[in-house]
Amino acid sequence: MPAPQYKRILLKLSGEVLMGGQDYGIDPGFVAEMAKEVKAAKETGLEICLVIGGGNIFRGMAGAAQGMDRAQADYMGMLATVMNALAMQSALEQIGVPTRVQSAIEMDKVCEPVIRRRAERHLEKGRVVIFAAGVGAPYFTTDSGAALRAAEMKCDALLKGTSVDGVYDSDPKTNADAKRFDTVTYDRVLADNLKVMDASAVALCRDNDIPIVVFSIRDEGNLARVLGGAGVQTIVK
């Protein structure tokens, strides 16, 4: 892998990427694949913070659509992100990558609370830090959690690994002529409501000058290529 252009990144993975080929839940084989990608990136000397969504298990909006109280459903979604974080920690440690999970909802039997200075120390010591439970409040998503932790931890970029290889001017699944941007401004993303991350996350990155790199995590080795500047991606800046 070529030398990375960043020193510290926050990698956001949606919960769906942990499902692999399943319709629901966690596919341990796929989590192991993701862990290998993270390990390869870390071996170049990069400091890595991780945020993992919970959509493979539970989304607050889906619960609310079925009649649940939205805030209550969102707390369930946040708990789902903790399960994903623990699965990823396990996969990383199995391949020798020391990892700490910090949750925005305190859960001292299973992980640490979010303490910025402690997270700094973990990164200095070469550990991967997984931030779980988003921002710790309902009506937010893990995209906002990722933007918040990227700002707090002074990350050079927020990498968003999804199932699409970047940001398009229209939906590439329904429009064969959809055009992928190499770069696009935060303001264009917000004005045109382009599908990148939710608006609060994009605004937080814009206000703190954190580039958002959108790429496909489903293509093997793509994290390495993107970090080396040779991958297919869209940079929002």
- Confirm whether residue 209 is marked as ligand binding: no
* Residue 161 binds ligand UDP, judged by CB under 6 A: no
Q: Report which of 104, 102, 122 is spatially closest to residue 112, judged by C-alpha positions.
A: 102
Helix ranges (H only) for the chain are 28-42, 60-65, 70-94, 116-124, 142-152, 186-191, 199-207, 222-227
The stretch near ligand UDP (CB under 6 A) out of 121-129, 137-145, 208-216, 225-233 is 137-145
Structure tokens at 131: 């931030």
Nearest distance in Å: CB 210, ligand UDP: 17
What's the Cα-to-Cα distance from 227 to each of 13, 139, 176, 182, 187, rounded to whole Å? 15, 32, 28, 15, 24
The strand pair at 47-52 and 8-13 is best described as parallel
Residues 45, 46, 50, CA angle at the centre, nearest 5°?
Answer: 140
- Confirm whether residue 162 is marked as ligand binding: yes
* Per-residue binder mask for ligand UDP (CB under 6 A), 139-158, x = binder: -xxxxxx-------------
Q: Which of 87, 123, 135, 205 is the binder for ligand UDP (CB under 6 A)?
A: 135
Q: Which of 4, 20, 60, 161 is the binder for ligand UDP (CB under 6 A)?
A: 60
Residues 103, 200, 116, CA angle at the centre, nearest 5°?
Answer: 30
Q: Which of 4, 20, 54, 231 is the binder for ligand UDP (CB under 6 A)?
A: 54
**Binding-site residues for UMP:** 54, 74, 135-142
Q: Which residues bind ligand UDP (CB under 6 A)?
A: 14-16, 53-55, 59-61, 74, 77-78, 80-81, 134-135, 137-138, 140-145
